[in-house]
Structure 1
Amino acid sequence: MNARQGSGGSPDRPARSAALRSWFDTSAGDRRTGPADEERIDWLRAAPFIGMHIACLAVAWVGVSATALWIAAGLYTARMFAITGFYHRYFSHRSFRTSRPVQFAFAVLGSASVQRGPLWWAAHHRHHHVHADTPQDPHTPRKGFWRSHVGWFLTRAGFRTDPSRIGDLLAFPELRWLDRYDTAVPVALAVSLYALGAALQRWAPALGTSGPQLLVWGFLVSTVVLFHATVTINSLAHRWGRRRYATRDDSRNNWLLALITFGEGWHNNHHFFPGSARQGFRWWEIDLTWYGLRGMQAMGLVRDLKPVPAWVLDKAGR
């Protein structure tokens, strides 16, 4: 019998306890197991993520208002930029430079997306680029749509942060804290939205909102839509679109995905030359994250945005 299981085949009490603690402290659930277990979905640890999806059904009870929709859209926009501009282009690829306070501010905003900490995100993404669309790639669509879209995210291996890939980021204790307690910021956001909604209900009733309504629309719905938009780059941008460059993986450029992910859909461009802060290589390839980073550079908040080299553009030919 597996030492981690009781007579009924379910995880033993220490394993369950570790999984529950890992909802708040990721180090509590970081237990090495056999290769087969590493690839299975950890249902107990994944319960809050699944519950967040189910809780979106509460829209039927809390109703909707323009205020709730605007806040949901604003949080989608701000957090998507934090994911694409900082979790991806900055932390994962170091495609520009910034100050430590700005780095931390956008790490916090990215953490509010419920896509785990910046170290986790960078470690997994760097692993993806090394092993893209091979058996070692945890979210290649070659393993099936649902596995690439969300299944990999909920496995025991998927929960773990590999420190060997992020040595440059481990020097920052504030980033390590965000990675370890990756639910702290989302919980704070959820509580703040509830409190804001309750305050508006009392002091500005004409807005027609409430604490439960802002919690459901501003946090739950906005976060779930944000997550699924982000991971379409794993599940869809390696299957549908055009291949400008003959890369070793299946990456494709998809204009629709580029719109909803602020430029990440120019994925074949990115896999051919991942070091650039710009992913829409041509002027007609809309890359909202690039425009945002250019604006931040003009304000002195970021610097040294790495451009697309001329030889990359010449190789594309169009």
Structure 2
Amino acid sequence: MPSPAPAWRRALRAIVLWFDTGAAPAGDGDPDRIDWLRVLPFIGLHLACLGVFWVGFSWFAFWTAVALYAARMFAITGFYHRYFSHKAFRTSRPVQFAFAVVGAASVQRGPLWWAAHHRHHHRHADTDLDVHSPRHGFWRSHMGWFLTPRGFRTDFDAIKDLVRFPELRLLDRFDILVPVLLAMGLYALGSWLESAHPGLGTNGPQLLVWGFFVSTIVLFHVTVTINSLSHRWGSRRFATRDDSRNNALLALLTFGEGWHNNHHHYPGSARQGFAWWELDLTYLGLRAMALLGLVSDLRPVPAALRTARREAA
């Protein structure tokens, strides 16, 4: 058994991988341990939210945070999830790339990594091979799983339909680039508004903290509740082979992803709120894009599957 690399080499490798996820081979040791060196930027994102106590509050900064939450949540749910992971509709290559960029701004890694892990989840949902099943514990399913060497890896065999796009591979490899550009843009915008429109009461540091750090961390934790909470709390309309639940509150916060038992019953649908009263904001957004000709062939739920395999009372 090979001896572990010296500490300085592991630290250097972790730093390089902050910027280029394809720059070094997989590390040694336990693949399910938390790699604290590599996840320091993730910890820093959380700590930076404390900056609200220094930068103060303005309605402009608040609504910027809300707008960026909404735009990036739609990119994650509509494209990272329903398009890249499940091919629930069709779109052009420019639109595909544009929403991959918006999704990458969420600091939830690149579209290839995201889709590969999600497809693995559906193949092994709530089994020992499902790395973010809450059967392994709440915190492990909520965020511990992707802080490990196993979680960092991308199974390219699972996404052969996506790896043929060099722009997606580039976005995936340098997944820190878009978030950094967004953060810099927010700081520059806030600095300009401070002098050009002082009545808005904002500035560079404030717009950076609220628009990037706070918005990103709220977006992240709401997104991953679908792993940690939607397999524990809610109702089960269908007798799926996993623990998925429908949860109306999570569906509202995640723009429709909380209808998770529906989704596991038929993952290929562009719509996750099967009933008329199950609000699915992502699906409504995709319908609007279809009217504009930006997406097409939204896959429906087959009528026979709407009532099949009902969960026993």
Q: TM-score, normalised by structure 2?
A: 0.97
Per the alignment, in what secondary structure is the counterpart of residue 26 of structure 1?
coil
- 1:262 paired with 2:255, answer yes
Q: Which residue of 1 aligns with 2:288?
A: 295
Contact 1:19–1:28 at 8 Å: present in 2 too?
no
Change (3 A) 1:88 1:282: same
Change (3 A) 1:293 1:316: farther
Contact 1:30–1:160 at 8 Å: present in 2 too?
no
Q: Which residue of 2 aligns with 1:3?
A: 3
Q: Which residue of 1 aligns with 2:59?
A: 66
Shift of 1:121: 0.2
Task: Kindly provide the CA deviation profile for residues 193-252 of structure 1, in whole angstroms up to 9, marking residues without a partner as x.
Answer: 000000000100000000000000000000000000000000000000001111110000
**Amino acid paired to 1:67:** F
Contact 1:19–1:29 at 8 Å: present in 2 too?
no
Task: Kindly provide the CA deviation profile for residues 14-64 of structure 1, in whole angstroms up to 9, marking residues without a partner as x.
Answer: 222111000000012441534xx1100111110000011011001000001
Q: 2:8 aligns with which of 13, 17, 21?
A: 13
Report the aligned-residue RMSD: 1.3
1:62-101 map, 5 Å: 62-101=55-94
CA distance in 1, matches of 2:228, 2:308: 27
* Number of equivalent positions: 311
Q: TM-score, normalised by structure 1?
A: 0.96
Contact 2:238–2:310 at 8 Å: present in 1 too?
no
1:53-202 map, 5 Å: 53-202=46-195
List, as ranges, runs of 4+ consecutive aligned residues in structure 1 with deviation greater than 4 Å: none
Change (3 A) 1:22 1:217: same
Shift of 1:2: 6.0
**Amino acid paired to 2:12:** S
The percentage of aligned residue pairs carrying the same residue is 68
Q: 1:285 aligns with which of 278, 281, 287?
A: 278
Q: Which residue of 2 aligns with 1:9?
A: none
1:25-44 map, 5 Å: 25-34=20-29, 37-44=30-37
Change (3 A) 1:102 1:297: same
CA distance in 2, matches of 1:30, 1:244: 44
Contact 1:68–1:218 at 8 Å: present in 2 too?
yes
**Gap runs ≥5 in structure 2:** none
